[in-house]
Amino acid sequence: MRYEIIRGEDDKYAIFDENRRMITLDWYDSVSSDGLIRGQSIYYIARKDGKEAIFDVYGHQISEWFDRINPNGLISGKSDYYIAKKNGKQAIFDISGKRITKWFNRVFSYGLVRGESDYFIACKGSKCAVYYKDGKRVSDDIPSKHIKGGIYRATFNENIGIVEIKMFGCKPITIEFSPIYPFKEEIIDYTKLLNI
């Protein structure tokens, strides 16, 4: 099904489906074209009174109202995670609305949020580091001077514990981290006998 954003007479916006049924529960100051409108997922971001929240095509509010929500991850259909900003800090939340990380000065969407790995990069003050999805820090500090110009690509190799970071106007750097492997119980089928 196709969806489109319609502007009302009072300069408010709503999403309608191809049958002209209103999908949003209300009219908003703005509605992002990321996600539902672009066919990336069933989610979209609506803005009202200077705050943003995530909704789904069925009218359920997925997140609380935040200062800003990054469209990478859940909205773009890449993972069940998203980054939200509140009071100048950022954190990662899951699809249920649960905050899964501490609040940081900055969180990058590469890795966990984009569905690329179980790791992410976040900064507190002038120090950045690699973190596992449960919030455990797994690398030494990365001085923010190495990434203050912005990261345009970070590639995680979980098997050997490195992330290659490419920045604007700088040579790529490689950061080592300690991979975490969750315990996986091996299931053995004893009903099948070895044929010797």
Tokens of 11: 């300069």
SS3 185: coil
Give the pLDDT confidence score for residue 173 in this predicted structure.
86
pLDDT tens column, 32-77: 999 999 999 999 999 999 999 999 999 899 999 999 999 999 999 9
Q: Domain residue spans in the chain?
A: 1-76, 104-181
**CA–CA distance, 128 with 145 (Å, rounded to integer):** 10
What pTM did the predictor assign? 0.86
Q: To the nearest whole number, what is the mean pLDDT of the chain?
A: 89
Q: pLDDT at position 106, please?
A: 93
pLDDT value for 184 = 42
Rg (CA), the chain: 20
What pLDDT is recorded for position 131?
Answer: 96
Q: 150-196: per-residue pLDDT in tens?
A: 788 899 998 899 999 888 777 888 999 999 875 444 455 555 555 55
Residues 6+ apart with CB under 8 A from 147: 121, 123, 128, 165, 167
